């Protein structure tokens, strides 16, 4: 089974509890104004990965406690992500999902299958006017954190960095997590409004 | 042959005394049967075993052209062919040196940029009350910012 990806990073401390492998899927129909990742909106093929191979890569990554699915909108590719999530869960890793949908909107069968494999779900549109720098794991205060298994609790929120920078060998600086605007002076802002979108 | 440095290295490698070479940005008049001609690089007749003629290399739009007698016992056509061969060797070596120097310059520039970015994140994070945990992820540097809990 194939998954259309934007990118992955093998280890992040700013996308859920502990150190996590992070998958940004490609494609989002919700397209919240002010989204930090507008390059992930288009459904054009960006990087097709075999889900079994991807799961193998995640499981082989050292010192992580789980995988985080974000994007783009993960539930647009729920079927493929069920395959990834079930494999990594079987290896003892946890699953954390960021979605732009509210929980009650996730009612298709493949949505339910992915939710059944999810330990923590952060749900809801990103609303610029409700932007928050204090809410753990959330970009705006309307978003909700759902602990769908007993693996994590609200106390787990403390076990997460706010923001993380990745400095590539060529000097390119990328940021993930929930940065204060003052921190972003050191990195180029994403193109807004996004160009070349469908 | 277009590069003076490589040409001189070739001539010297083939046995000519470097200190006896005359090099000039403006052509020097040649003595002997080449009378009336001039060259930018001159091997004086006193050092070539020829009682009458200087040997020269005149720089033109297409590179250096030799000015010499075909029948010289040592510095004739055969010698000139060897000069050409050694010139190509020294020219190639020089290009490699220049490429390596350029590669090092780019690498130093890259390292300066990465370090400047790293320091900028640290300084900004510190001002905002974050503690920065730094780790290597292959060639990438990870800078994890956590709020101080005290």
Instruction: Quote the radius of gyration of chain A (alpha carbons, Å).
Output: 16
Q: Positive or negative, the Cα torsion across A56, A60, A61, A65?
A: positive
- Between helices A78-90 and A51-60, what is the axis angle to 10°? 40
Contact B31, B42 (CB under 8 A): no
Under an 8 A CB cutoff, do A167 and B118 touch? Answer: yes
Selecting from A13, A165, A182 the residue whose C-beta is nearest the C-beta of B121 gives: A165
Look at residues A61, A88, A66 and name the one whose alpha carbon lies nearest to residue B138.
A61
pLDDT greater than 80 at residue A186: no
B144, A186: Cβ pair inside 8 Å?
Answer: no
Has residue A197 been placed in a domain?
no
The predicted pLDDT at position A172 comes to: 85
Q: Nearest residue on chain A to B126, judged by CA atoms?
A: A183
- Is residue A167 a part of any domain in this protein? yes
**pLDDT reported for residue A193:** 53
Q: What is the 3-state secondary structure (H, E, C) of B11-45?
A: HHHCCCCHHHCEEEEEEEECCHHHCCCEEEEEECH
pLDDT band at A10 (very low <50, low <70, confident <90, very high): very high
pLDDT in tens, A35-54: 988 999 999 999 999 999 99
Position A8 pLDDT exceeds 90: yes
Scanning A9-68 for CB atoms below 8 A from B yields 9-11, 13-14
Q: Of all residues in chain A, what percent are helix, strand and coil, respectively (each to 5)?
A: 30, 25, 45
**Considering only alpha carbons, which residue of chain A is nearest residue B117?**
A171
CATH classification of the domain holding A10: 3.20.20.70
Domain count, chain A: 1
Determine, yes or no, domain membership for A41: yes
CB-closest option in B110, B124, B145 to A164: B145
A186/B140 Cβ within 8 A: no
In this prediction, residue A188 has a pLDDT band, given cuts at 50, 70 and 90, of: low
In the three-class reduction of DSSP (H, G, I as helix; E, B as strand; rest coil), residue A124 is classed as coil
A165 lies within 8 A of chain B by CB: yes
H or E element that contains A109: helix A109-116
Indicate yes or no: CB of B114 within 8 angstroms of CB of A166. no
CB hemisphere CA count around A45 (13 angstroms): 5
DSSP codes of every residue in A25-65: ES--SS--TT-S-GGG---S---EEEHHHHHHHHHHSTT--
Structural domain boundaries enclosing A81 = 2-186
Contact residues on chain B for A180, CB-CB shorter than 8 A: 128
Q: How high is the mean pLDDT of chain B?
A: 90
Say which of B113, B120, B140 has its CB closest to residue A166.
B140
Q: How confident is the model at residue B150 (pLDDT cuts 50, 70, 90)?
A: very low
Q: Is residue A198 part of a domain?
A: no
A 77-136: CB under 8 A from B: none
Residue with tokens 């690498």: B107
In 3D, which of A36, A44, A30, A35 has the Cα closest to residue A74? A30
Residue A123: which of A149, A142, A148 has the closest Cα?
A: A142
Partner A contacted by B51 (CB < 8 A): no
Query: Domain coordinates of chain B in residue numbers?
Result: 4-101
Q: Is residue B43 exposed (0-12), middle (13-18) or buried (19+ Cβ within 10 Å)?
A: buried
Q: CB-CB: which of B113, B137, B145 is closest to A162? A: B145
Within-domain flag for A145: yes
Distance from CA of B98 to the nearest CA of A (A): 22
Listed range (A19-23, A75-79, B51-55, B95-99) with the worst mean pLDDT? B51-55
* Residue A192 counted as domain residue: no
Q: Which value does ipTM take for this structure?
A: 0.79
Most confident of A35-39, A69-73, B121-125, B131-135: A69-73
Q: Pseudo-torsion of CA B73, B69, B36, B32, nearest 10°?
A: 20
Tokens 């089974």, residue located: A1
B77-127 and B4-13 helices, crossing angle to 10°: 130
H or E stretch including B80? Answer: helix B77-127
- A7, A16, A171: which to substitute to probe chain B, counting the most B Cβ within 10 Å? A171
Contact (CB, 8 A) for B33 and B54: no
d(CA B18, CA B30): 18
pLDDT band at B148 (very low <50, low <70, confident <90, very high): low
Distance CA A143, CA A145 (A): 7
Q: Do A183 and B110 touch (CB under 8 A)?
A: no
Query: In Å, how far is B96's CA from the nearest CA of chain A?
Result: 24
Please check whether residue A69 lies inside any domain of the structure.
Answer: yes
């Amino acid at each position: 089974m194939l998954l259309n990806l934007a990118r992955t990073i093998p280890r992040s401390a700013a996308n859920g509890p502990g150190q996590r492998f992070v998958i940004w899927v490609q494609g989002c129909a919700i397209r919240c104004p002010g989204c930090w990742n507008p390059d992930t909106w288009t459904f054009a093929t960006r990087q097709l990965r075999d889900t079994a191979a991807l799961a193998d890569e995640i499981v082989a990554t050292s010192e992580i406690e789980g995988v985080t699915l974000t994007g783009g909108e993960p539930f647009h590719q729920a079927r493929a992500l069920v395959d990834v999530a079930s494999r990594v869960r079987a290896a003892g890793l946890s699953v954390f999902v960021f979605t732009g949908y509210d929980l009650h909107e996730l009612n298709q069968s493949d949505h339910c299958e992915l939710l059944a494999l999810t330990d923590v779900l952060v749900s809801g549109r990103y609303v610029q006017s409700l932007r928050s720098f204090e809410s753990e794991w959330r970009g705006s205060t309307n978003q909700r954190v759902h602990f769908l298994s007993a693996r994590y609790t609200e106390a787990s929120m403390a076990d997460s960095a706010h923001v993380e920078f990745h400095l590539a060998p060529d000097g390119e600086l990328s940021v993930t997590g929930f940065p204060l605007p003052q921190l972003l002076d050191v990195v180029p802002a994403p193109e807004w409004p996004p160009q070349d979108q469908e | 042959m277009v590069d003076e440095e490589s040409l001189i290295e070739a001539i010297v490698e083939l046995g000519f005394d470097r200190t006896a070479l005359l090099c000039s940005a403006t052509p020097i008049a040649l003595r002997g049967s080449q009378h009336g001609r001039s060259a930018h690089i001159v091997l004086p007749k006193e050092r070539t075993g020829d009682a009458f003629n200087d040997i020269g290399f005149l720089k033109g739009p297409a590179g250096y052209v030799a000015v010499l007698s075909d029948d010289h016992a040592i510095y004739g056509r055969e010698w000139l062919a060897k000069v050409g061969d050694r010139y190509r060797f020294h020219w190639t070596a020089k290009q490699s040196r220049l490429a390596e120097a350029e590669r090092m310059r780019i690498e130093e520039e890259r390292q300066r940029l990465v370090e400047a970015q790293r320091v900028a994140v640290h300084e900004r994070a510190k001002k905002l009350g974050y503690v920065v945990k730094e780790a290597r992820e292959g060639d990438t540097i990870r800078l994890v910012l956590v709020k101080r809990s005290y």
